[in-house]
């Protein structure tokens, strides 16, 4: 990933600071604030601006790292080791720019910071209150992101829905920022225009009430983005503009799209970026049009594949597909790169056994075993890996998927029938996956967790070295347990080779079986680094192997 260079300051008015765009939601959750934020950022970036996106989450958890994927989808990890909301994955995939811990702020972090300051005496004996102390901390987290990184625009998505009690301090902070720096701050309100099939018409009343709630809190939205299943006609737009105190050209239609990747193009057609820039005082004649050539090329490849491959994603949270959002998107990126459609079969690992495994997996061109924590579904993952290994089906394991590949090989090739991970079976006689005590000396660990980007040296002559085309890479981690070095010689003599090694700790990062059609597993999470413009090479190589297997 790379940072996009900013335009000259003349285009934002010389000497001006970052501009702040807040995105709130109304009527319903899950309307797509993250996708709208990422789409707007993409359009501004395509005009040459330096843009970042931030998520303010109203829950009291300090970060999503302890949340069950069924509750909140996947936990996304940044290069600096922050466990964050999955929306940051959208931000990075759209912008091809890395985010950091500063891009995801929770109520838990806000209160933790304020309480720590109070304990240190930084408030000089003042009574600590929501206003000004909590709202000041929220504003500080927003503004420092722009000032320290010299972003032209900071787009801040506020989680939840206007009217939620948890969101009130955030909305108040937005109100204060609009009052304190009105020329540099605007608010986009994303809302729903429901269609009543019985009446055969779209209804604007929910949006009117949502905007009224915002107005009661002192915030006038500058732009309405309206999610809808049907086109908004001029009459509806005019009605919304009149009742919600916005200009008619500031009522933006966000109609349901075939894919999330269509949304930037739809927003461009609606001139969302032009409206935003105009409201922030930018002379559009001084700004180049958005260059979306690479994006359009991706869309064309994605929508017009020359072939299709069937891939089984073996996981334990497959009922909620957002639990593996980054993996699914990385497969799509790689598929588009190879002009190949991805038919993804979501297979619950608890439903796989030795009796039904051929029915479950026999139709697949490739098998991917997904990450996770805990013992549930482990036996199904082991069976799937054995099936891929013994039937010469392309296999890709990620994090726990690699650890399961090691356990399966130990049991069925090395003959260590009771081999296991000490995470799952604490007193196994053969802990081929174990918690290494030396890990605790590594910085940025989060206790025993290895989080964020770590270096990996690639063995000369290996498949991994061929795929990456370089000697060393950095990839993101989120795990505790490691390949047990005590068993490495046995594994390599039997045909499973450690081809990626951390140069500092000596920990195994990648294993391969060279004699297999394609059998590669990584301890790290390559899916976090895959973007629309830069698909991850490991996913490209895996899809390539699946294409060959399908012939």
Do the Cβ atoms of 85 and 64 come closer than 8 Å? yes
Residues 75, 399, 456, 546: which is the catalytic one? 399
Instruction: Compute the radius of gyration of the chain from its Cα atoms.
Output: 25
Do the Cβ atoms of 475 and 509 come closer than 8 Å? yes
- What stretches of 259-399 show up as alpha helix (H) in DSSP? 263-269, 272-279, 293-303, 325-337, 357-361, 378-390
Residues 90, 133, 333, 525: which is the catalytic one? 525
Q: What angle do CA 221, 223, 225 make, to 5 degrees?
A: 115
Catalytic residue list contains 75: no
For residue 525, give the nearest of 81, 8, 73 by alpha carbon.
81
Catalytic residue list contains 408: no
Between strands 195-196 and 201-202, the pairing is antiparallel
Catalytic residue list contains 527: yes
Q: Which bin fits 495, alpha (ψ -120 to 50), beta or left (φ > 0)?
A: left
> What single string gives the DSSP state of each residue in 421-479?
ETTT-TT-SEEEEE--GGGGGSSS-STT-EEEEEEEEEPTTSHHHHHH-SSEEEEEEEE
User: d(Cα 328, Cα 332) in Å, to the nearest integer?
Assistant: 6
Tokens of 167: 């969101």
Residues 74, 270, 274, 527: which is the catalytic one? 527
Q: Which bin fits 415, alpha (ψ -120 to 50), beta or left (φ > 0)?
A: left
Do the Cβ atoms of 223 and 270 come closer than 8 Å? no
Give the SS3 label for residue 21. strand
Question: Which are the catalytic amino acids?
Answer: 399, 525, 527
């Amino acid at each position: 990933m790379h940072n996009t260079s900013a335009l000259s300051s003349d285009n934002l008015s010389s000497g001006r600071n970052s501009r702040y765009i807040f995105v709130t939601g109304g009527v319903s959750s899950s309307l797509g604030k993250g996708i709208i934020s990422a789409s707007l950022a993409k359009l501004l970036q395509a005009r040459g601006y330096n843009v970042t996106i931030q998520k303010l989450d109203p829950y009291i958890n300090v970060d999503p790292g302890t949340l069950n994927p069924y509750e909140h989808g996947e936990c996304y990890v940044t290069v600096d080791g922050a466990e964050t909301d999955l929306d940051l994955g959208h931000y990075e995939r759209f912008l091809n720019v890395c985010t950091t811990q500063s891009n995801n702020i929770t109520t838990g972090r806000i209160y933790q910071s304020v309480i720590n300051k109070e304990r240190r005496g930084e408030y000089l004996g003042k009574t600590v209150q929501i206003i000004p102390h909590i709202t000041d901390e929220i504003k500080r987290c927003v503004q420092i992101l722009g000032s320290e990184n010299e972003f032209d625009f900071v787009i801040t998505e506020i989680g939840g829905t206007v009217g939620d009690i948890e969101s009130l301090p955030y909305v108040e902070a937005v109100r204060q920022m609009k009052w304190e720096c009105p020329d540099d701050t605007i608010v986009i309100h994303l809302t729903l225009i429901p269609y009543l099939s019985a009446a055969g018409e779209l209804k604007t009343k929910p949006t009117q009430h949502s905007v009224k709630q915002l107005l009661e809190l002192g915030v006038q939205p500058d732009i309405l983005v309206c999610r809808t299943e049907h086109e908004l006609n001029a009459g509806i737009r005019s009605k919304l503009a009149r009742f919600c105190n916005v200009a008619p050209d500031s009522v933006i239609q966000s109609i349901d799209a075939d894919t999330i990747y269509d949304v930037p193009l739809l927003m461009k057609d609606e001139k969302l970026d032009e409206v935003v820039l105009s409201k922030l005082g930018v002379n559009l004649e001084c700004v180049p049009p958005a260059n979306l050539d690479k994006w359009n090329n991706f869309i064309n490849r994605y929508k017009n594949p020359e072939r299709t491959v069937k891939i089984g994603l073996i996981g334990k949270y497959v009922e909620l597909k957002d639990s593996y959002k980054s993996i699914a998107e990385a497969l799509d990126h790689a598929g588009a790169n190879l002009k190949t459609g991805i038919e993804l079969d979501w297979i619950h690992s608890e439903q796989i056994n030795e009796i039904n495994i051929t029915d479950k997996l026999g139709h697949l061109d490739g098998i991917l075993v997904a990450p996770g924590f805990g013992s549930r579904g482990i036996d199904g993952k082991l069976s799937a890996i054995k099936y891929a290994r013994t039937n010469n089906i392309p296999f890709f394991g990620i994090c726990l998927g690699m650890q399961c590949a090691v356990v399966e090989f130990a049991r069925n090739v090395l003959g260590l029938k009771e081999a296991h991970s000490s995470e799952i079976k604490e007193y196994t006689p053969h802990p081929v996956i174990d918690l290494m005590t030396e890990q605790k000396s590594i910085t940025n660990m989060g206790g025993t967790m290895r989080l964020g980007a770590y270096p990996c040296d690639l063995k000369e002559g290996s498949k991994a070295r061929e795929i990456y085309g370089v000697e060393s890479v950095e990839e993101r981690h989120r795990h505790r347990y490691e390949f047990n070095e005590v068993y490495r010689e046995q594994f390599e003599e039997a045909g499973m080779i450690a081809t990626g090694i951390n140069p500092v700790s000596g920990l195994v990062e990648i294993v391969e079986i060279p004699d297999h059609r394609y059998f590669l597993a990584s301890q790290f999470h390559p899916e976090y680094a895959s973007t629309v413009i830069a698909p991850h090479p490991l996913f490209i190589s895996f899809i390539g192997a699946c294409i060959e297997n399908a012939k």
